[in-house]
Structure 1
Amino acid sequence: MAIVLAGHQYGKAENRVVRFQRDTPRHEIVDLNVTSTLRGDFADAYLTGDQTKVLPTDTQKNVIYAFAKEKGITSVERYALDLARHFVDRTGPVTAARIDVDVYPWTRARVAGEEHDHTWTRSGSEVRTVAVTVSGKRGAQEAHVVAGLKEFTVLKSTGSSFRDFLVDEYTTLTPTDDRVMATSLVASWRYDPAVIDAGDFGAGFDPDAAYEAVKGAFVTQFATLPSLALQQTLWHMGRAAIETVPEVAEVRLAAPNKHHFLYDLQRFGTENAGEVFHADDRPYGLIQAVVARDDVPPAPAAWER
């Protein structure tokens, strides 16, 4: 029997980058949490401690901050692509790079009814996410751009049922035609590689508008579909996202079922006609789905997380 180093990668995690655009009286803000991950032939660093092929994680951190100024952040996806391509193209031993970004939303403060030029409040229930992978050197390069969101909580007070499920000797759940449905959605969507060209991310393609359109498709389906199960809702959400933004090749959805149980007030002589609930955060059902176009190749399995 032999013991081998079966895999490895390394990088710089959670670089908190805040970039202000201050060239006009009305300032702009982008607030990011950026993680870099590099792959390549770094086995000697693990097996013998030889660091001659290792680009320090401190250097990766410096590039992340420097590019926020030198390249700018016109869109988070393009910024992440610039970083990934830099590490692959400029660092010989690096064969693949992944950049993960969380985006924290801010809303302009209003003073005397007007938006303030350089003051914001933290806003939004969700965190926007971006994951970019680039593998192969220039001229034979493959790139994948995955957008997404997490901590996106949605709830509706009616329009959801759950019945006709399998029953065995341990089943206690009562079928219902009217229940509260709520989830804290985690979603990611991978763009068709055809919209990622050699120098930029989808010339003429607006990833910010695409993000809002996909999120809007999710909310519309959640709100308007008479849901027979959270599984059915996820399928319709994923399909609607692809129909709304055709550049999307694949949508991945994870939805913890945030249960709301009707509280028993009858024991106090009070009728509870679907008005007072106990919100129970665990244990919870975790519903997941992948919805994809069948004409776009899947992303490399090596970069799945």
Structure 2
Amino acid sequence: MSYDLSWNQYGKAEVRVVHVERSGPEHVVRDLNVTTALRGDFGPAYTDGDNARVLTTDAQKNTVFGLARETGVGEPEAFALAVARQLLQACPSADVARVVVEEFPWSPLGSGGRAFSRTGSHVRTAELELTRAGAVELSGGVAELVVLKTTGSEYHGFLKERFTTLAETDDRLLATQVTARWRYAADTAGGLEGADHAAVHAGALAALLEAFAGHHSLALQQTLHAMGTAVLDARPELAEVTLSLPNKHHFLQDLSPFGLDNPGAVFHADDRPYGLIEGTISRR
């Protein structure tokens, strides 16, 4: 019996690199978690243990650190592109380089710009795939963005059958932890060179938050759609938005055994199981 190696990818996962920019009067800290991967003509390494075409994962790790020194870090999307280009240059057998970046925010403590605290409401993300022909797929995004609204959310009119016990409500507490990925419309590396990634990120994030806060929700699915369309309305550079919204359930606590009422004041938070609502909003 014969077999084919139908797909392969290898790389270095979660390279933690912290870069300090010291050129200005205030230092700037960029704290990244970088994962790299290569796809291409690496079949002999899998079938025969022949590593002649393999750029080691250790070299991929060193590429991240070396470029952080040579080029600085800057915006995660731009750094991902620089790393991908270097990997393809270094490894002739690779057809595609994939780079995923997570950025953890640090903010200055007081004046002077020499001390920092880990802050921020979310983790910034970027995902990039670059082909040897120059085609690129680039996404920015956020993760671990926890949001909550105390009113303006209903849930009723759903399908009911013999296992349905959930009560309908016209006013509930709604909370979720947003994971969002917005994909750029450009499909070549050259087309992304001049993009203002910081502005895209800030605008997309603001649109997400404003839509969540201002939208009167009849379902978390409807809220997902409102958030995704708000991002596309705000940023014409983007082609689509993918959202993952776990429903972080908060249930009204029964205080009647203690002779107390509970007019939407005291809740218990359940971490699992939870509803998971996901979807992609794309331009037509």
Q: Normalization by structure 2: what TM-score?
A: 0.97
Who is 2:155 aligned against?
A: 162
Q: C-alpha offsets along residues 82-141 of structure 1, whole Å, 9 cap, x if unaligned?
A: 11122223421010000001100011112xxxx3311100001211111110012xxx32
Q: Structure 2: which amino acid aligns with 1:214?
A: A
- Cα deviation, residue 197, structure 1: 4.4
Looking at structure 1, the residues matched to 200 and 184 of structure 2 have their Cα atoms a distance apart, in angstroms, of 10
Map residues 54-203 of structure 1 onto 2, 5 A cutoff: 54-110=54-110, 115-136=111-132, 140-193=133-186, 196-198=188-190, 201-203=192-194
- Cα deviation, residue 212, structure 1: 1.2
Looking at structure 2, the residues matched to 250 and 202 of structure 1 have their Cα atoms a distance apart, in angstroms, of 20
Looking at structure 2, the residues matched to 94 and 165 of structure 1 have their Cα atoms a distance apart, in angstroms, of 50
Who is 1:299 aligned against?
A: none
Number of residue equivalences: 284
Task: Pick the aligned partner of 2:249 from 247, 251, 259.
Answer: 259
**Unmatched runs of 5 consecutive residues or more in structure 2:** none
Who is 2:38 aligned against?
A: 38
- Cα deviation, residue 152, structure 1: 0.5
Who is 1:220 aligned against?
A: 210
Q: Structure 2: which amino acid aligns with 1:166?
A: L
Who is 1:290 aligned against?
A: 280
Q: Which runs of 4+ in 1 moved over 3 A?
A: none
**1:15 and 2:6 equivalent?**
no
Looking at structure 2, the residues matched to 197 and 44 of structure 1 have their Cα atoms a distance apart, in angstroms, of 30
Q: Which moved more, 1:271-280 or 1:115-124?
A: 115-124
Give secondary structure in 1 for the equivalent of 2:72: coil
Percent identity between matched residues is: 44
Task: Pick the aligned partner of 2:228 from 232, 235, 238.
Answer: 238
Q: Structure 2: which amino acid aligns with 1:116?
A: G
**Unmatched runs of 5 consecutive residues or more in structure 1:** 295-305
- Cα deviation, residue 4, structure 1: 2.8
- Cα deviation, residue 9, structure 1: 0.8
Who is 1:300 aligned against?
A: none
Q: C-alpha offsets along residues 229-283 of structure 1, whole Å, 9 cap, x if unaligned?
A: 0000000100010110110111000000000000001122111000000000100
Cα pair 1:148 1:186 within 8 Å, conserved: yes
Looking at structure 1, the residues matched to 93 and 4 of structure 2 have their Cα atoms a distance apart, in angstroms, of 20
Looking at structure 1, the residues matched to 237 and 118 of structure 2 have their Cα atoms a distance apart, in angstroms, of 30
Give secondary structure in 2 for the equivalent of 1:11: coil
Looking at structure 2, the residues matched to 241 and 57 of structure 1 have their Cα atoms a distance apart, in angstroms, of 36
Cα pair 1:77 1:201 within 8 Å, conserved: no
Cα pair 2:135 2:189 within 8 Å, conserved: no
Who is 2:271 aligned against?
A: 281
Give secondary structure in 1 for the equivalent of 2:35: strand
